[in-house]
Structure 1
């Protein structure tokens, strides 16, 4: 898979020879330390965002 960006801010995804375009989503920053090392994760009971730089963890339970 190749990813590119056009001047209009559209991302070009080339998957199996079928290009599609959509708006580029910026990578979120950690709200605590503003680090780019802020990643989404999932568990069986929910999902969350975790920063490995400062340890910030924002978890959402599927039962709530």
Structure 2
């Protein structure tokens, strides 16, 4: 097989790998990942998880809707 015949497929494969790796390592915007506190309460036999986070303001909701 001649390499020059398959250069287009090699280029597209490299492009796909670069795109996937860029998407996998992209930072999460601050509005999409609000700081949440997760605490575990061990008062009963069944574990209970309590999640506390701040509510979104009207400006944050509008920014997410766009």
Q: TM-score if structure 2 supplies the norm length?
A: 0.24
Where relative contact order (Cα < 8 A, 6+ residues apart) is larger, the structure is 2
Q: Which has the larger radius of gyration?
A: 2
Q: TM-score if structure 1 supplies the norm length?
A: 0.24
